[in-house]
Amino acid sequence: MKHKHLNAVAMLIAAVVGGAVIVGCATQESEAGSPDSTVAAEVGGKKITMDEVDAAAKAKNMKPYQALYDARRAALDELVAEKLYEAEAASRGMSKEELIEQEITQKSPAVTDADIEKFFNENKARMGGRSMEQVTGQIREYLVGENRKSATDALVATIKSKNAVRVLLDPPRTEVKVASNDPRKGTKNAAIQIVEFSEFQ
């Protein structure tokens, strides 16, 4: 999606300007969003569960949980894609490597000098004063990756349409408390759920 493309462009430009070019604090989290009854501590015989710890931590800082989810989702997407490749390759009577070569490598458009020039001109103000000759290699590498990703996404989408895929990994959630005098619209006791999406893909 457009947001992801802009983020990727920003990362490339940061590399060009600075000459340098995702994993949060990993705490134990229950599977598929179910309550985690693991005991984290006991006080006077009363147990404090990981579910309570996570709820308190999320109320103060959601970012580590979002980072953990993002890392898990990225890994899950890769694993799902691998399973889809294997299924499609088997149905075609070829190896997974042959499928990838045929449907991704061969279908990724070559990057031309005109593509590089167009990208440079569209982002010239953010190139830190460097000339196109100085950043051509980095721009080419980025565009090659983008073209391959587009071919990969197209293949995965095609195979998904022929296979049942269910993603059960839940994004992190935290309780939102609404005071009795807070402005609201709708039913007084309606449930409120806010889900943060840090990546628009």
Over the chain, what is the mean pLDDT? 81
Tell me which of 135-149, 152-166, 167-181 is least confident.
167-181
Tell me which of 5-19, 111-125, 133-147 is least confident.
5-19
Contacts of 144-149 with CB under 8 Å at 24 or more apart are 144/108, 144/111, 146/5, 146/8, 147/108, 147/109, 147/111, 148/104, 148/105, 148/108
Backbone angles phi, psi at 39, to 5 degrees: -80, 125
Under a CB-based contact definition with an 8 Å cutoff, are residues 8 and 147 in contact?
A: no
Can you tell me the distance from the alpha carbon of 53 to that of 36, in angstroms, rounded to the nearest whole number?
10
Can you tell me the distance from the alpha carbon of 13 to that of 2, in angstroms, rounded to the nearest whole number?
16
Q: Answer whether residue 94 shows pLDDT above 80.
A: yes
Structure tokens at 167: 């993603």
Structure tokens at 135: 């950043």
Tell me which of 10-19, 128-137, 163-172, 174-183 is least confident.
10-19
Can you tell me the distance from the alpha carbon of 10 to that of 181, in angstroms, rounded to the nearest whole number?
42
* The model's pTM: 0.61
Residue from 149, 162, 147 nearest 89 by CA: 162
Structure tokens at 60: 């103060």
Q: Answer whether residue 21 shows pLDDT above 80.
A: no
